[in-house]
Amino acid sequence: MEEKKNDLSSLIGFALIGAILLYMMYQNQPTPDELAVEQQSKQAQIDNQSTEDSALKIQQSPAAILAQEKAKLGEFGYSLDLDSDKDRFTTLENEVLSIKINNKGGMVSEVKLKAFVNHDSVPVYLVKDGNSQFNLNFSTSDNRSFNTTDLYFEPSLSLEENAQVLSMKLKVSERQFLEYKYSLNTDDDYMLGFSIQSQGLSKVFDIRQPAQFEWDLKALRHDQSISFENRYTRLTYEHDGEKINKLSQSGDDDETVEDVSWLSYRQHFFSSILVPEIPIKSTEIRSFDLVEDETIDTLFTKKYSTKFAMSYRDGELQQDLNLYFGPTYSKTLKKYDRNLENSIPFGWGIFGWINKSIFSPLYAWLSSFLSYGIAIIVMTIMVKILLSFVQYKQFLSQAKMKILKPELDALREKYKGNKAKAQRETMALQNKAGASPLSGCLPGILQIPVFYSLFMFFPIAFELRQKPFLWVKDLSSYDTIVDLPFSIPFYGDHISLFPILASIAIFFYMKMTTGQNMAMQPTQEGMPDMAKMMKYMIYFSPLLMLFFFNQYASGLSLYYFVSNLISIGIMLVIKNYIIDEDKVLAKIQVNKAKPKKQNRFQRKMAEIMEQAEKQKAMQERRRK
């Protein structure tokens, strides 16, 4: 019992002591004024320490600061100076180009094309405000990694023969350096010579790891319609000899390509092209579409990226490259004799051949002495006259089928219970009369290569860029007669006149041709539905044309407008002055009287139809 009393007394004593201590702490806590004074004292100590550190730095000599900076860069800090934190530029210039090279990174930081302006009448820049970057990434023997974009080069400009030559050296010593060398001819040359080489760095480089060259560029917008421009902005390259290929036109895409002869960062009417002297063995290329919403994304169209390894030769770097900055114009690109004109999207196969061999030189010749709009009209007339014989054959075939229609309807009525027999008799009659639906289709098929070739030609014809005609300010872009205060889906925020005129001309042309086609068709089951569909097409096709071409090149709409007007005129002339239906009928009767020998195809078709008829008869007997 005594022990318990002692324990209780101890607990009470400790509690009283604790209470007394808490009371003393409460009474002695600092007031708000005392806390403020203490905080000011601490801040003063911090400020004093900072002032002492700053004073210590000020006391350091410029040489000591420079030594610290050089130590960070190792051997490549040799040519570092106190002004190295400031970007300085050297300009190369000729009649058509103005190029600025930055000491930092030794790379091209600005390219202006003197002879051209964009849709806002601002000079065309292919490189500006950091949209392009060159970089050489390499490792050193002391386990350092460097990017040349972070290093400072020493410039030296000279004039050699007819070229400005700029040497940009990243020095280890006066005789040891990495050099970027640029050369620009003083005439109207768009090709910038560019080489990378090193001297005396075989023991500095870690040759076990190849150096990596990278070139990134975000293509600046230049056209009135960014969506239309983006459709023709695409990374194109030549590889494996003379094979031409492209990355995706829309969305993001990447490839690893072997033996690249050149690669073009094409921007519709302008291009930045890397042209190595020797094909690059393996190159990683990428393209990123930067236009997701054309009302928001209005500055850039696509981002391009190229990366390839540079191997060492006897421990040194040596790579001869060239850079083309200029118009995507066939006449200009051809003079470099490197197939650079193949970067222009003339079209594939026969369509590309027609454009390169016929339409491009023809239009260049016409526009050399005619206004550009008149040159389109004259070329359209020449094309339509050349194809008028095709239209004549097509219309003659339609006329023959129209004359034969009563007899063909009679045959179908006679053999309406036996479709195979009716078809065979129809073919026999058409063969004797020298009339066939195929003879009308084939001439139309012959016009398709011309139609598609011109569809590809006008949007990429550099000659049309910013050339006016009538109310049109730029034949390579859409024309505007009314600006809308809102945007219509798939149509745009403006109204173009030439697509309206072209749609009206197409409507009347289709109304004439569709009516003629329906008149020549024999009456058969399903014809009312076919007629209804053809009637809808008369209205649907012009409407589609109106929406699709509202943001397309007005030169293309001008071509379709004139082309359909001429087609209507040719059709009226052929119908009223050339084809005499009485003479055609008389000729058909003469042909019908003559014994007509079937060709191999006709015999084969007749055999197939006869065999099908026999099989059908056998099946009917088995059912019975």
Closest CA to 266 of 126, 129, 134, 131: 126
**Is the pLDDT reported for residue 3 higher than 50?**
no
Q: What is the pLDDT of residues 94-124, one digit of tens each?
A: 999 999 999 988 999 999 999 999 888 899 9
pLDDT of residue 2: 43
pLDDT of residue 581: 59
How would residue 1 be classed by pLDDT, with cut points 50, 70 and 90? Answer: very low
Stronger pLDDT, 429 or 359, i.e. the higher one: 359
Q: What is the pLDDT of residues 257-271, one digit of tens each?
A: 999 999 999 988 999
pLDDT of residue 82: 45
pLDDT of residue 216: 94
Burial class (CB in 10 A: 0-12, 13-18, 19+), 472: buried
Q: Looking at the whole model, is its pTM more than 0.85?
A: no
* Six token digits for residue 492: 């745009």
Q: What is the pLDDT of residues 446-470, one digit of tens each?
A: 678 888 888 889 888 999 998 999 9
Q: What is the pLDDT of residues 392-413, one digit of tens each?
A: 776 766 666 666 667 666 766 6
* Six token digits for residue 364: 């260049």
Stronger pLDDT, 31 or 362, i.e. the higher one: 362
In whole angstroms, give the CA distance from residue 558 to residue 591: 44
pLDDT of residue 280: 92
Q: What is the pLDDT of residues 516-530, one digit of tens each?
A: 555 445 444 544 555
Give mean pLDDT, residues 429-454.
67
pLDDT of residue 237: 94
Domain map (residue ranges) of the chain = 79-345, 356-604
Burial class (CB in 10 A: 0-12, 13-18, 19+), 154: middle
The phi, psi pair for 594, rounded to 5°, reads: -80, 140
Lowest-confidence range among 26-40, 101-115, 287-301? Answer: 26-40
pLDDT of residue 246: 92
Q: What is the pLDDT of residues 68-101, one digit of tens each?
A: 666 666 677 776 654 544 568 999 999 999 999 9
Give mean pLDDT, residues 293-319.
87
What are 195's strand-pairing partners? 181, 320
Stronger pLDDT, 534 or 332, i.e. the higher one: 332
Stronger pLDDT, 33 or 470, i.e. the higher one: 470
* Six token digits for residue 125: 């820049």
How would residue 255 be classed by pLDDT, with cut points 50, 70 and 90? Answer: very high
Q: Which residues contact 259 (CB under 8 A, 6 or more apart)?
A: 239, 240, 241, 279, 280, 281
**Is the pLDDT reported for residue 532 higher than 90?**
no
Q: What is the pLDDT of residues 491-509, one digit of tens each?
A: 878 888 989 999 898 888 8
**Is the pLDDT reported for residue 141 higher than 80?**
yes
Average confidence score pLDDT of the chain? 79
Q: Which residues contact 255 (CB under 8 A, 6 or more apart)?
A: 245, 247, 284, 285
Q: Does CATH number 2.70.98.90 belong to domain 79-345?
A: yes
Q: What is the pLDDT of residues 173-205, one digit of tens each?
A: 888 899 999 999 988 899 999 999 999 888 888
**CB 351: neighbour CB atoms within 10 A?**
20
CA angle 521, 525, 526 (to 5 degrees): 80
